[in-house]
Amino acid sequence: MARYPAERDDQFATHFTRLTLTRGDSGFTSRLETVPFGSTTRLATGSVRSSLFAATDDANLPDPVATQLADVFSSDIDFHRELRKGDTFSVVYEALTADGEPVPWNQGSGRVLAAEFVNAGHAYSAVWFADASGKGAYFDLNGRSKHSAFLASPLAF
């Protein structure tokens, strides 16, 4: 059995392809299936000493999760100018599995489900919410959308 990323672009983040070879009396047969990922939930916490990405590396967060964390709070925090030594974060995220095994591509990470970032003593929170159709967004604990037309740090860092 072999597992690899789904071939269709629209399924890359949600499915994997499983190739199964079976030996029979008349030789081998193969079966190719597109299967949804499984997921487990993980929690990571960290403290900033120099940069956000150094802190997420210290916390063993996959890079895609670190990028999502920065994106979620980009309307609240200017990560270029406002990040302080001692700022802290906590993040709950999906770790993807294929047939119960960790996914070796895309660093095996899925969506950030909830996060808190404490910047200069002020706590910012975000929770992922998806409606029945599967469309979702991040909201703070008061139900306000985290999406903003104006970003505190509009340039990539």
Q: What digits encode the pLDDT tens for the residues 80-121?
A: 899 999 999 999 999 988 888 888 777 788 899 999 999 999
* pLDDT for residue 52: 94
Q: How far apart are CA 36 and CA 99, in angstroms?
A: 9
pLDDT at 152 over 70: no
Q: What percent of the chain has pLDDT over 70?
A: 93
The CATH number that domain 38-139 falls under is 3.10.450.350
The number of beta carbons lying within 10 Å of the beta carbon of residue 110 is: 23
Task: Tell me 145's DSSP state.
Answer: B
Domains in the chain: boundaries: 2-36, 38-139
Alpha carbons within 13 angstroms on the beta-carbon side of residue 85 total: 2
Q: How far apart are CA 116 and CA 91, in angstroms?
A: 7
* pLDDT for residue 68: 95
pLDDT tens-digit series, residues 12-36? 778 888 889 899 999 999 998 888 8
Q: What are the structure tokens assigned to 27, written together?
A: 């030789």
